[in-house]
Structure 1
């Protein structure tokens, strides 16, 4: 008795019910897990918002500090005040607040008037950094995206424009923060990672990490991170995510209002769920043996069901390959649906192959002469030319064939054409390609054949015909034109044209002869 698939599915469903009963034992564990996840997500969300507000406050304060300096410096934005006012001001901002790794004052033309520290050796040079040029262009309070500065460091540039009392733009005062060195962001955000595995990082508008507990991660692009994708559209919240190290994390995130950056606070899911591990271990002692046995039984049965279907599907997908029927017959189909599918697939595959072979034959064979048609000829010429295989082309037709048709009728004319086709096959080699070009015109393609050998084959065919009585009761002759690749031409169309010209030269010279391309040149 053959088992039906529906009964097998029923058996699997029965086992599923048994497993469902077993799964109820761990429902308490699941609830505890979800509670831990929700609590961690909410904590991280709140903490991320707190860090975002703190960072926003820092940047607001920094911009305000620069604004005050800019107002103070407006009367002194010229070279004569550099030593008396500008250098002392940059030194004050650098040393007093510990906010910036470097400070500079730039005039409206982009020339650096003063820097601190002086060791940067930038005074008198043009401000060519990306952030500096953008700040000069905007002429407003500005916090740049991370870029590589004049000193070769990865930095962000915070600046404020300087205007005189009449509102004319004089330049800017700004400071840099070196992202891969000790900087103020570390003090603002602090070492916010603990033994429980939580930590904080900050990304800019392009998804680039600008602060991380591991400074080697600074400047990494993490656009593929779903949390970062949410931050880039200005959203705040919490979610489960797999980080770039393929670790499942519980992340809270919040956007900064001033810079449009994002703060992420996250902790690994594994560490967050650690308190529930003890409980599940105790429950596992009772349930795992039963679950393992049930799982093995289900896997075995599922495998036995799926195996023949999987193999049949694979062979159906690759049905155009050879020997698929033999492989299908080896599939062990042990239940009704698989047996029927196997039979249907074998039938369909045989039918498909028969139809493919039929259509290939129909599309490449001339129905009257059984020679290859022009489509097949073009394909061979294209392939040989691309592979740079030397070959010769013989193109010929029956001399005064119209008289044969007019005298003996088209039926006899067709017999003469078939007679010519048979003669072509007799004088050519196995690897040669005999084609009907159209009407009474024929082509022979001779691979790996030089001019001398091709001429010999052409003459053998011509002499055979002139010495044999054709189906019309008289001798028919042919005129042959010949060209070779690559000697006479390098393109199939060019060679056919040359061979055709040789054919017409043979006609003009009296018919029943072979003409080579060299003859045309004389």
Structure 2
């Protein structure tokens, strides 16, 4: 395919413009994405730390409130049920800290509870959170557990001791994890409405708060961010969560409870402005680019027109009117002017050389067949194109006798006779060549060994039945070889055919011997 100079320059210019634009857009796109991710990471980190500090302060305040209450109810633990009930009602009603409040003695029996409609008084509080509080006898924020009412809760408790340091039980407030609670008020709804959310995990990697109640109590300990929270670390990172979603997450630990807060936003939501930025940049850049391309196209036409005209005349140099046409070309810049001069000065020399080349025929002057140089060109071209072909190498049997008995003139007539005989016998697409002396070579494109041998046999048998210029029939011997089965190099193929020809001679002449068709 021929590409004009004008189109080539236009392509290079367009490619340069598009490449520069693409690099600029891509660099801006990457920088924008990096900035968006960096800002989102920092925003979520700060927000997670804020929530963690708020929750930490709340939990410490709650423990302080429970401590004061424990000191208040300690004297009433030996039977003053009314005082105990007043205290738990006070704790429940004075704030929204707890969903329920209870006083439990050292055996696990519930002495007082608020709200009273739960009807838990005098029941044994045997859930894991209560058992843990009774066992450890210290301020405690429990892990999630199922209460005796069937709710998933956490309990914040404070031990009750008498003045003599006797352990009397504990006062505890519960927070419902799957119902409205103080955690909802503390953590609330996230500040984006694009799939962003906050969740809280305990030290085991269990979700204790999530905007979706179905996720509460899920184990997410395989999440890389949660693993860092379980080790008490805080920070921010891009992470694929346990549901396979790409998220931008900030996380912060809550040491007092061994909890952790995660504030995260989908990466797609964070990065969506970068796509809009690319669209805006493209819309802004396209008009000036199109105007520039129109100007470049007009300039290219002016620059390349003289070169195109000179190239056309150089390609069609056989036209006798070419010098006049070259003189009409408007060459207005240095390179075109010099090319114009060079074409004019070399016009006559070129035509002289063309005439010399035309005198060099590619045919054998005696037989009119292709000569050996043309034969080699055909063989090389067929081999280069990987076109399968066969060759027949043949010569006249006892040709020296023909020359000795009838003379060289009759011998030349015999060669011409054989050349004509070959052309009449072979296919139209076959290439007939004089290899040298009385040897001839036939190239048969797309002919397998069987077909080539058939043609050679036909040629041999017909020649043996036809009178030659000597007044008698001539006989020939032939060798047949196949490309690429026998050889992939033309010279090697000819050598193999020559060996087959030699075998035919040794076998008594007037024979055709073909190769085996395999290397």
TM-score, normalising length: structure 2: 0.50
Task: Say which one has the larger Rg.
Answer: 2
